[in-house]
Amino acid sequence: MSDPKRADVCAVAIAEAFRGDGERLCNPIGNLPLVGGRLAAATFEPHLAITDGYYTLLDNVPPVGLPEEERVAQRVIGQWNPYREMFGLLWRGKRHVMMGATQVDRHGNQNIAAIGDWRAPRAQLLGFRGAPGNTINHTTSYWVPNHSPKVVVESVDVVCGIGYDRAAELGPVASRFHEVRRVVTNLCVFDFDATDPAGLRTLRLRSVHPWTTVEEVLAATGCDVVVPDDVGVSRGPDAAEAAELGRLDPQGLRFAEVPDE
């Protein structure tokens, strides 16, 4: 069997982040995360709800990247979900979001606001968006398409999404809904199933993608991570998943984000 496409390995790793979520909103942001989230919903987590990318929650799993008319026609709408309802949903906690991260650090803090000092930024980014509210209210994962020492860092410049050190400072009651589950990158999958010497949950290498090695991942990582003895290799799609990936992303948008070399 030929090697799986890199984007397909990433899509499966993203899908795996939502395994076990049952009946809640699977809300990945960005094209490849959308494909991965919908793959989970179309296969092993059939009770997930997904969004149409805008203002409704869907009870079916249509392809991504459809022209507007098709996008609207193919929706089976479970609930109207304008932005203010989304805040209601996320404050209730029945959601797992996968956001992007300009920087993510070893405790899972995320930055999408600014590079440098926020008061006088070297590079202004998006702002905090929903990251503070997401991370304190429900499960959050991150997708990093450009894994490098500048992206996976010791400590982020601005804490938007809060990590395990910030959660620990708040204490167990205030942080009881906080969970950063996975960081999926174009090189590997991290989880937080390990603690550092301070007893804080910290990045742990869960698997490396087939086109790279543990050494290469560590060289591309700007902080210490826990490396277990049995780091696996991220899997490609099985036959049913491969068929779903073809259906969910007929235009191959995912290959633009993670191309094969």
Partner 1 sequence: MPGPDKRCTEEDVVAELRPGMTVGIGGWGSRRKPMSLVRAILRSDLRDLTIVAYGGPDVGLLCRSGQARKVVSGFVSLDSIPLEPHYRAARQAGSIEPMELDEGMFLLGLQAAAWRVPFLPTRAGLGSDVPRLMPEIRTVTSPYPEPSSGEHEELIAVPALQLDVALVHQHRADASGNATWLGEDPFFDDLMVRAAERAFVSCERVVPTAELAAGADVTHQRISRLDVTGVVEAPHGAHFTECLPDYGRDEAFQKRYAATAKSDEAWDGFRAEFLDLDEAGYQAKIRELQS
Question: Binding residues for partner 1, per CB under 8 A?
Answer: 54-56, 68, 80, 82-84, 87, 90-91, 113-114, 118-133, 135-137, 158-162, 166-167, 169-175, 177-178
Residue 141, phi-psi category: left (phi > 0), alpha (psi -120 to 50), beta (remainder): beta
Contact between residue 184 and residue 143 where contact means Cβ atoms under 8 Å apart: yes
Smallest separation, CB 124 to partner 1 (Å): 4
Segment holding 95, helix H or strand E: strand 95-100
Residue 147: C-alpha distances to residues 41, 111, 155, 217 (Å): 26, 14, 15, 8
Nearer to partner 1, 3 or 169 (CB): 169
Nearer to partner 1, 178 or 182 (CB): 178
Smallest separation, CB 142 to partner 1 (Å): 15
Smallest separation, CB 92 to partner 1 (Å): 11
Nearer to partner 1, 128 or 211 (CB): 128
Residue 258 tokens read as: 């993670």
Smallest separation, CB 109 to partner 1 (Å): 9
Residue 90 tokens read as: 């996320």
Contact between residue 126 and residue 112 where contact means Cβ atoms under 8 Å apart: yes
Nearer to partner 1, 159 or 226 (CB): 159
Contact between residue 152 and residue 222 where contact means Cβ atoms under 8 Å apart: yes
Contact between residue 152 and residue 185 where contact means Cβ atoms under 8 Å apart: yes
Nearer to partner 1, 133 or 145 (CB): 133
Smallest separation, CB 4 to partner 1 (Å): 29
Smallest separation, CB 132 to partner 1 (Å): 4
Q: What is the DSSP string of 117-145?
A: -TTS-SEE-S--TTHHHHHHHSEEEEEES
Contact between residue 191 and residue 139 where contact means Cβ atoms under 8 Å apart: no
